[in-house]
Amino acid sequence: MSRAESGTAHLYHRLVVYLLFLILLLPLAGTLLYSLATSWSASLLPSGLTFKWYLALWSDPRFLAAFGQSLLVCVGALLLSVVLILPLLFVVHYHFPRLDALMNILILLPFAVPPVVSSVGLLQLYGSGPMAMVGTPWILIGCYFTVALPFMYRAITNNLQAINLRDLMDAAQLLGASTFQAAFLVVLPNLRKGLLVALLLSFSFLFGEFVFANLLVGTRYETLQVYLNNMRNSSGHFNSALVISYFLFVLVLTWAANRLNKDKS
């Protein structure tokens, strides 16, 4: 292929990518414009622009409560996953490396059962009795923990393999460190960026979860996605402002995770 033909093909590929990117952005741009419109009904463009829908959204106590409750259950689930997964992964990779293949299979089991099916089983188990947790944030934290588990496990496993855990531990112990000191003072700092990337990506995924939240707690512990569903019959401008605010929040988290991942590599 000549240089001219190669340049033409490259230009064609770039145009296709830009066109697809534009198609994907059009609905988001329309939602953003609608969230800023004073009214938009009988014309191609809105009659005016305003921030009143965003002011109404961020001054709504119900929205702020739903936003805070979503943050609470997501952070709680991720803290639980870190506390349980980090020691487990250390033990598996340092003492029982042959179990890693089995763990890779077991860790994917949460994806084998659809959330609707899981919710029905959880309603049966925790709907009544001594461990009645339906309608409370505790059951959501447990569910979100299982959802985040595969993401956390794979990200931390890849990081452990990259730092060569056994050699790092042996070197620290040769210098006089105990197993706990080597794990806490040597291994853990090397996992910091990978762990933070896994937390941010898992958080952005959990923050948009709807099925478990709607079926297991509903309005008794209203999260952001449940709030969005319950407000579907309100003003379209208000709902558009809510969608754009949610999108920007998740976009910032994803951008931060990508930046950290680039710095890590």
| Domain residue ranges in the chain | 1-50, 61-264
Q: What is the pLDDT along the chain (265 residues), one digit of tens a residue?
A: 556 556 676 777 788 888 888 888 888 888 888 888 888 777 777 778 888 889 988 999 999 999 999 999 999 999 998 888 888 888 888 888 888 888 888 887 777 888 888 888 888 888 877 788 888 899 999 899 988 888 888 888 888 888 888 888 888 888 888 888 888 888 888 888 778 888 888 888 888 888 899 889 988 888 988 998 888 877 888 888 988 998 888 888 878 777 776 655 5
Give CA–CA dist 178/160, Å, rounded: 19
Please give the model's pTM, rounded to 2 decimal places.
0.81
How many CB atoms are closer than 10 A to CB 192?
12
pLDDT of residue 41: 75
Tens digit of each residue's pLDDT (9 = 90 or more) over 129-184:
778 888 889 999 989 998 888 888 888 888 888 888 888 888 888 888 888 888 88
Q: Which residue has the tokens 């309100």?
A: 234
pLDDT of residue 265: 52
pLDDT of residue 64: 93
CATH topology of domain 61-264: MetI-like fold (1.10.3720)
26 alpha carbon, distance to own chain's centre: 24
Whether 131 and 61 have beta carbons less than 8 Å apart is answered as no
Tokens of 63: 């929205």
Tokens of 122: 């959880």
Give CA–CA dist 197/188, Å, rounded: 14
For residue 113, give the amino acid letter.
Answer: V
Please list, in sequence order, all residues whose beta carbon lies within 8 angstroms of the beta carbon of residue 145, skipping any fewer than 6 positions away.
Answer: 77, 80, 81, 84
Using the CB atoms, write b or e for 196-221: b if 16+ within 10 Å: bbbbbbbbbbbbbbeebbbbbbeeeb
Q: How far is CA 102 from CA 75, 98, 106, 114, in A?
A: 28, 8, 6, 22
Tokens of 85: 């997964």
244 alpha carbon, distance to own chain's centre: 17
Phi, psi of 129, deg, nearest 5: 90, -170
Q: Please name every residue paired with 49 in a beta bridge, in sequence order, or none if there are none.
A: 37
